[in-house]
Structure 1
Amino acid sequence: MTTDLLDLESLLTDEERAVRARVRALVDREIRPHIADWFERAVFPRELVPALAAEGLLGMHLTGYGCAGRSAVEYGIAMQELEAGDSGIRTFVSVQGSLAMTAIAKHGSEEQRQTWLPRMAAGEAIGCFALTEPDAGSDPAAMRTVARRDGHDWVLDGAKRWIGLASIADLAVVWAQTDEGVRGFLVETSSPGFTATPIEPKLSMRASIQCDIALDGVRVPESMRLPDAHGLRAPFECLGEARFGIAWGALGAGRDALEGALAYAGAREVFGRPLAGMQLTQARLAEMVLALQQAQLLALHLGRRKDAGLLRPHEISMGKLASVRAAIDVCREARALLGGNGVTLEHSAMRHAANLESVRTYEGTDEVHTLVIGQALTGLSAFRG
């Protein structure tokens, strides 16, 4: 039984459908049979990385250096299918490709790109993106991590928090204040003074890794500074790539929850008839599919604009805000339709809803994206009073 009541399928190209089919098959084969166990035990499956790399999913929107060079829409479709498996798995691909690899591709030197991107695309090296700090989440301009020159090197001191993959990463893209403003540095995680500690226990994103990072006199050569990263515009460009992926990915979680609830309602009998035949059930399902398909149309529109080189930052904010809102509401309604059974890991809705609590917070909270949209409407910034 399809949930695509608007036939959005007809708006995709054959190649886009082929990408969807390949990633969906990977999720069905490698993720669905194990995700409940990974989530319950709070482990990220590192053994999955080679399969993700083999499918060309790491840095898939980048061209050259071993990257797949896929379109924005194809990238969005892939993120949607991965997040139908679990937000934590999609987060791995986003951190690796949209954040760490994009920082190197956009702002690194040719030597840095040649050294790191092929290894990262192949899953042989894992990267993380260290921007957020304990006291500087939504306001990265307030970061306290500093980098000072010492001869031909830089010395980094400070702390970062909620940094995905940091404890398993080989390379960290670290953003720090310098005498000339914010700059980006490539820090090998084996460097003396670099410590990454997983944040535990968590009630969300349990099949993923988020860490605290301590930087205590970490020495980085000038050759590891990102030469084209000047100011906060550089990390924000990377965040835009990740937010675009979220605008698609969250809808995968919502769709998976809806499909699970629909199947359950069709099989479950109450008062002598299928739960799906009840008016209130159908009203709930109708609202769920309406919200998801509206958000899907927006995501597809943003993808076409991105492929045409027309996408603007406030449009990405609209997509991220709309998709995550829709998806988390759908997952909560799906859990309710499942009744008491919905709180078990046999069903995906509550797991997805818990994960989406994190997704709505990272890469810009609801409030931040609301103010980005407000600024685009009024021409006035409301971020600082």
Structure 2
Amino acid sequence: MSTTVADERLFATADWYDAEALLTTEERAVLARLRNFLDAEAKPLLAEYWERGEFPDQLAQPLIDLDLMEPAALTTNGPARGIYHGFRIFELARTDASLATWYTAQAGLFRTAIRVGASEEQQKEWMPRVVDFSLKGVFSLTEPEHGSDIAGGLATTARFEPGVDGGGGGGAWVVDGAKRWIGGATTADVLCVFARDVADGQVKAFLVDRQAPGVGLEKIQGKTSLRMMQNAHITLDGVRVPEAMRLHNVNSFKDVAAMLRAMRSDVAWIATGIQAGAFEAALSYVKERQQFGRPVGSFQLVQEKLARMLGNITASLSLVVRLTEQQGRGIYRDQDSALAKMQTSLLMRETVALAREVVGGNGITLAADVGRFHADAEAVYSYEGTHEINALIIGRALTGESAFTR
């Protein structure tokens, strides 16, 4: 199907109930431009770079040049709509999970940190640079020993020292600790580091120059999922950060939680897009693959699995579209984003397994595409809140009782 004409459906195969109809003609035209680039430039590279465990850096600047975060064509009357941002993530993820994760590290995580955590003056200075990627940043929260328990367990510290800071006056902070699993850190300009203030015990956030003295970055090796995404282990040893580079609206973990509830919807869109990519790859394969003298897609058991995959995708799209509409009206609740992330990730796990299953032995090869989605889904299942953590957030909202370990 051609994707250059705005009135043609982009997601006709996987979007059974036509959620795409919520997009405007202009939004679909931007997404079609993205798809054309991904099909022509990205897809031919994915298997090779996934196997090498390297990110195809030659795609970074062309993706930035597509002007996807706040496209000029969509911002005449204000920021681009949430439903467009969702389908942009969906399109990236149905191509590759690492590409989607790389882009949303800037457009989702880092941008949200600035939007929620920066003061009005800081936003005026930084946000235009975030949107055009001239200030590249990453969200540095997870630690080597603290993931699910980060709210209470965050161990990285920040100590304020008044006086000259070398960056405009106002004193400086000294940050010590470590962060882990930080995607894109090695190519970022700044690391948005969350640390506990030793004076009041509250969590603060800082934009740390990646090349500042005391900052060490090491690529995490040996991954079996999201192999193209470059995740880093970061050490912070007496790193000085000017007060001007502290996010002034982050003064407790409640402020961090406000970021997380906004960002989990992005991950739910990624989980939904991964399902679409795996499903479309599997469907294409079973239409062509012959066994017993007929296409594999003609067998009853294969068709039943295809139907289940489509049902999972349709349910997931319904969740993320409705959540996005709700957030567009200013309704942000922890339990809503937690439900979407939990359920789409759970369905994703089943969908990619079914896709690998119908492709048979070839499903574990990169040539059939399905294997890449199958492996990458495992990382998405765990990040931005594990299944269990999100379930407990929902359970707390349902019962009024917290079941989190204290």
One fold, TM greater than 0.5?
Answer: yes
Rounded Cα–Cα distance in structure 2 between residues aligned with 1:293 and 1:170:
38
Quote the residue 1:288 is aligned against: 309
Q: Is the 8 A contact 1:146 1:156 kept in 2?
A: yes
SS at structure 1 position matched to 2:382: coil
Contact persistence 2:69–2:85 (CA under 8 A): no
Instruction: Mark the runs of 5 or more structure 2 residues left unpaired by the alignment.
Output: 1-11, 163-170
Match of 2:183 among 161, 164, 181: 164
Which of 260, 267, 270 aligns to 2:291? It is 270
Please name the residue that 1:100 is paired with.
Answer: 110
1:371 corresponds to 2:392: yes
SS of the counterpart of 1:215?
strand
Aligned ranges 1:18-37 → 2 under 5 Å: 18-37=29-48
**Structure-1 separation of matches of 2:106 and 2:33:** 20
For normalisation by structure 2, the TM-score amounts to 0.89
Q: In structure 1, what is the equivalent of residue 216 of structure 2?
A: 195
Q: How does 1:2-151 map to 2 (within 5 A)?
A: 2-58=13-69, 69-141=79-151, 142-151=153-162
CA distance in 2, matches of 1:9, 1:186: 37
AA at the equivalent of 1:153 = A
Compute the displacement of 1:215 (Å): 0.5
Partners of 1:238 and 1:52 in 2: CA distance: 25
User: In 2, are the aligned partners of 1:58 and 1:93 still within 8 Å (CA)?
Assistant: no
Displacement, 1:266?
1.3
- The SS at the match of 1:174 is strand
Which deviations, in whole Å up to 9, do the C-alpha atoms of 1:266-288 show, x marking residues without a partner?
A: 11221122211111111111111
Q: AA paired with 2:25?
A: D
Kindly indicate whether the alpha-carbon contact (under 8 Å) linking 1:128 and 1:166 is maintained by their aligned counterparts in 2: yes
1:55-103 Cα deviation digits (max 9, x unpaired): 233477xx99xxx821111111000000111111111122112222221
Which residue is equivalent to 2:264? 243
CA contact (8 A) 1:59 1:98 kept: no
3-state SS of 1:345 partner: coil
Counterparts of 1:204 and 1:238, CA distance in 2? 25
Q: 1:58 to 1:164 in 2, by over 3 A?
A: farther
For 2:58, give the aligned amino acid: E
The aligned counterpart of 2:5 is none
- What is the SS of the residue equivalent to 2:366? coil
**1:114 shift after superposition:** 4.0
The one-letter code of the counterpart of 2:268 is A
Does the 8 A contact of 1:19 with 1:74 survive in 2?
A: no
Of 271-280 and 17-26, deviating more is 17-26
**TM-score, normalised by the number of residues in structure 1:** 0.93
Q: For residue 157 of structure 1, what is the amino acid of its counterpart?
A: D
For 2:403, which of 373, 382, 385 is the aligned residue?
382
Q: AA paired with 1:88?
A: S
Matches of 2:65 and 2:261 in 1, distance apart?
Answer: 25
- Structure 1 unmatched runs, 5+: none
Confirm or deny: 8 A CA contact 2:117 2:249 kept in the other structure.
yes
Q: Residue by residue, what CA displacement relative to the aligned partner does 1:15-69 show, whole Å, maximum 9, x if unpaired?
A: 4433432322232123111111111111112332222222233477xx99xxx82
Q: Percent identity?
A: 39
Q: Is the 8 A contact 2:45 2:56 kept in 1?
A: no
Q: Is the alpha carbon distance of 1:92 and 1:147 closer, same or farther for their aligned partners in structure 2, counting shifts above 3 Å?
A: same
Q: 1:312 maps to what in 2?
A: 333
CA contact (8 A) 2:261 2:333 kept: no
Paired residues for 1:244-259 under 5 Å: 244-259=265-280
Whether 1:173 aligns to 2:192 is: yes
Q: Is the 8 A contact 1:16 1:73 kept in 2?
A: no
Q: Report if aligned partners of 2:19, 2:321 keep a CA contact under 8 Å in 1.
A: no
Q: 2:21 & 2:106 partners in 1: Cα distance?
A: 31
The partner residue of 2:174 within 155, 158, 163 is 155
Q: Which amino acid aligns with 1:18?
A: A
Give the superposition deviation at 1:383. Answer: 0.9
Query: Once the two structures are superposed, what CA deviation does each residue of 1:135-170 show, in whole Å capped at 9, x if it has no partner?
Result: 110111211110011121110111111111111111
